[in-house]
Amino acid sequence: MIFDAPHAIKLRSWRSRLVGLLVAAAITVVILSLRASAQESTPDNPLVQVLAPGATCATISDRHGLLLIGVKGQADHHLRVLSVDAQGAVDFDGATTLKLPLPEALKNATNYPLQVVFHPTLDLVYVWQDLSGATAAQQATVHATFDHLLIYAIEGRSLTLVAGAARGEHFLHGQAYGAIAVDPRGRRIFMSGLPGDSDVQALGYFDLDQHGMPMPVPTPIAGTLDGYGLNKHEMKLIPHRISVGNVQNHTTAFGLVAPSTDVVMFSAYNGAALWDTTNRRAALGYFPIYGAPRDNLIGAHPDLPVIFGAAVGSHQVYQMEHADGYLSMLPATISVAGARFQSKPVVMPGAPNRVAIGGANRIDLLPLDAEGRFVGETKSIAVKCAAVRGLTYSSKLDRLYVAVEALPE
């Protein structure tokens, strides 16, 4: 807020009024200067820093001119909604916030967003949320009332909740990471964090209709088996799913990449994996990467068939090519000294080509050649954020937006 001294303080003399006005002007200049410095970007430092403590995710839509940041730990909001102008400047004064819905019966628990994505063609936003703090006695209530997937319509510069989905025993809760991905045609939304066989997890998806809404599927009704061995069916909104225990034994939440409607790639144990939803004989594929850490956050190149993986809390990065989701080339791996990665890799195919990865109080920029391969020396940029997870790139503006705990002085 800009300090307006003449109205805030009753001054008894002309001189004191003048002093107050000068002070107010000075404070105004300082505030505007801070905002301007936070928006500046150069080829060497392409960052636009946005104050959002507790950020868990971020995404930008060039088509809508909207930057969305999900946060955890704020009592009054879960999403920050900011407009971005044609020059890439963020409208901080016009920023709005949004609380995600939480059923009244679960008010003792805490809900929080884990990923936010835009529909590729429609004016929709998908938010994947989770919750913690529910008691053992509330498990049935969680399954009956809590929607993990929230769908918002974009109306100008505001978001309106239009649907909720992904509730029930088919979904886990209390997860620190979560991932969703919509295929390029907007026909399917993939999701992580489903319960699998034994103590492993599963992946799932909903098919989307022409309006971007999840479609129910025919589900057998228990106790209706007839003489031909057939059940009666009812339409239910439950996910198609597959257990991934043979390639990932504890979580599927470190990023999803959906290059097509039928295939999704995901982080696997010491490597990368894929699920081909049309392949009934060998639906899962796995590519172990020698020396890769157990958990890797993955991201994709927007223009090339290339994925990148960053070791969670460590310093290793890999790059691998694929053909329609099928991993096709031996990986290239590098180590970034002093890094402790916290975000999925975000590719910046601008001038120059780079991949950005958020870490502990820094962002690392790794140069890439025209084929998306590592080349040159890594550049590190310090930011005030213990764990950078809110990181997103605008290809239209060639700017990297990052959520931080404090702005540069």
pLDDT at 18 > cutoff 60: no
pLDDT reported for residue 248: 67
Q: How far is CA 94 from CA 42, 81, 90, 113, 359, in A?
A: 24, 9, 9, 22, 29
- Centre a 10 Å sphere on the Cβ of residue 287 and count the other Cβ atoms it contains: 21
Three-class SS state of 170: coil
Q: What is the mean pLDDT of residues 140-165?
A: 95
pLDDT of residue 150: 97
Q: What is the mean pLDDT of residues 190-204?
A: 80
Comparing 6-20, 100-114, 142-156, 387-401, the range with the smallest average pLDDT is 6-20
Output 61 or 194, whichever has higher pLDDT: 61
Confidence of residue 323 (pLDDT cuts 50, 70, 90): very high
pLDDT given at position 161: 97
Judge contact between 128 and 179, C-beta under 8 A: yes
DSSP string, 306-375: EEEEEETTSSEEEEEEEETTEE-S--EEEE-TT----S--EEEESSSEEEEEE-SSEEEEEEB-TTS-B-
Structural element, H or E, at residue 84:
none
**What's the pLDDT tens digit per position in 339-384?**
999 999 999 997 789 999 999 999 999 999 999 999 999 999 999 9
Q: How confident is the model at residue 200 (pLDDT cuts 50, 70, 90)?
A: low
How many CB atoms are closer than 10 A to CB 83?
18
Q: What is the mean pLDDT of residues 60-79?
A: 94
Structure confidence at residue 172 (pLDDT)? 86
pLDDT tens digits, 270-314: 888 999 999 988 898 888 887 666 788 999 999 999 999 998 889
Q: Mean pLDDT: which of 12-16, 35-39, 363-367 is highest?
A: 363-367
Q: Which of 395, 374, 299 lies closest to 342, judged by CA? A: 299
- Cα end-to-end span (Å), the chain: 17
Least confident of 6-10, 265-269, 322-326: 6-10
Task: Please give the share of the chain, as a percent, with pLDDT higher than 90.
Answer: 59
pLDDT, position 250: 59
Q: What percent of the chain has pLDDT over 70?
A: 86
pLDDT tens digit sequence for 153-176: 999 889 999 999 999 988 888 888
Residue type, 374: F
Q: Which amino acid is at 105?
A: A
